[in-house]
Amino acid sequence: MPRALLLENIDPVAADLLGTAGYEVESLRGALDEADLAAALDGVDVLGIRSKTRVTAEVLRRRPGLAAVGAFCIGTNQIDLPAAATAGVAVFNAPYSNTRSVVEMAIAEIICLARRLVDRDRSLHAGTWDKSAAGSHEIRGRTLGIVGYGNIGSQLSVLAEALGMRVLFYDLEDKLALGNAEACGSLEELLERAETVTLHVDGRAGNAGLFGAEQFARMRRRSLFLNLSRGFVVDHEALREHILSGHIAGAAVDVFPEEPREQGDEFTSVLRGLPNVILTPHVGGSTQEAQHDIGRFVAGKLVDYTASGTTTLSVNLPAVALHGSSAARFALLHRNVPGVLAHVNALVGEHELNVDGQVLATRGELGYAVTDISAALPADLLAALDGLPETLRLTTFGSRTG
C-alpha cells in the first residue's frame, strides 16, 4: 500500500481522497525541520505540506523513492524545485483556490483601518467609551495602490472599485488593467499617489527587502499599509518607526519574516502593541472554504500523477496528460536531448509491442514522455529503459506490468 504524509494541518478532505485512492495516510498538525522531515519520509510516496516545511535537496536525496510533493498553498518557494525535478519528484500547488479568501480579508482590513475599528474595539474591551469620528474615514473615493497585479491583486482591484475606490497598480510585468484600474510606470509613482498601499507579490528571492524605510517615506502622509503576501518583503523595523512617527496611519500585516512553527507557539514582533495595527497569523487564505478547495484540488493532482503520470499544472515538470487506457503504461522523465523518444520506441518494438498512445513534452532541460503499450511490460524492457543514459526516472502505473 502506498503511503502519504500530510503536514501542517491540511484539510481532512485531502486525507479522504488519498485514502480512497488506496493510500495509507498519516496527518500531522505541525511542520518538520530538515532532519525530522528526512527521517519521517522513510517509506513515504507522497508528501503534503503548506508554507512552513522546507523540502530541500538534502531531504530529496535522502528519500529517492518519493514520487510527488503537494504544496497545499499558493507558493512553492519552500521547495527546491530544480532538485525535485532532477529527482523526478513532481510538485503541485493550488495557485487559485484561496484567492477570494485573501481578497475579502484585504477589503475587510482596509475598511477596519480607515475606520480605526481596532482601536475602538480595544478601548471598549478596556472599559472606555470613545465615540468619535476623529481619524475615521470612508474608503469610497480614496485611492488604493496594489503592488503585484496577479490573481489576488487583480481580483482585489475589481472588488475595491466596486466599493467606490480609485485603483492604481504596479507590476514588474505588463498586465492588462481590469475595470478602470490604472497602471503606474514605477513603484515610486504608485507610492506617491495612493492613500492605501497593499502588497500582493510572489515569493521570488528578488522580492526580499522590497519595502523598507525608503518606500515608507515615499508614501503619502497618514496613508495605510497592508502586507498579505510574504513576510520577508517588508522591513518591520521601518514600518514601526513610520507608524510611531504618525507618517503611516495604520497597517495590517498577515505574514512575518519568522513565524512560529506550531499552533500555540509564542509570537514575537516589533509591531505588537502599535495603534491601529492589525496583526493576523498568516490566515489570509485560511477560510474553511478555501482550505477545503485546496485540499481537494492538490490531493486530486497527486492522485492523478501517481495513478496515470498526469503532470497537468505541475510547477516543475513538463505538462503531460495521456487519456485512455491500455494494457500497460510507463512514464520516462529524461534529459531533453534529441533522439530519446526514438530510442524508447525502438526498445518497445524490439520486444514486439505496439505503442497504443504516447505524449511527450519538454521543459528546459527536462523531457517527459508517457507511453501506453499493447501488453504487459517485460522486466527486461523496463531494465533497458531505466538504463538509457538520458533517463532520470522511470515509473510504471497500476497493475498493468508483467
CA 319/CA 313 separation, integer angstroms = 7
β-bridge mates for residue 329, sequence order: 372
The closest of 300, 296, 327 to 314, measured between CA atoms, is 300
Handedness of CA 15, 304, 373, 395 (dihedral sign): negative
Q: Which of 220, 230, 242, 393 is catalytic?
A: 230
Whether 134 and 114 have beta carbons less than 8 Å apart is answered as no
Q: Tell me if 98 sits within 8 A of 294, measured CB to CB.
A: yes
Cα atoms in the 13 Å half-sphere on the side-chain side of 72: 30
Angle at 274 between CA 270 and CA 277, to 5 degrees: 100
> Catalytic: 282?
yes
- Integer Cα distance of 186 and 292 in angstroms: 38
Q: Which of 259, 296, 343, 363 is catalytic?
A: 259
Strands (DSSP E) along 254-323, which ranges?
277-279
Going from the C-alpha of 261 to that of each of 40, 186, 267, the distances in angstroms are 17, 36, 10
Cβ(70)–Cβ(46) under 8 Å? Answer: yes
* Residue 230 annotated to the active site: yes
CB-based contacts of 135: which residues, under 8 Å, 6+ apart? 116, 249
Is 259 a catalytic site residue?
yes
CA distance 305 to 322: 11
Task: Report the sign of the C-alpha dihedral through residues 170, 80, 49, 297, in that order.
Answer: positive
Scored b (16 or more CB within 10 A) or e, 76-88 reads bbbbbbebbbbbb
Task: Give the residue numbers annotated as catalytic, written as ranges.
Answer: 230, 259, 282
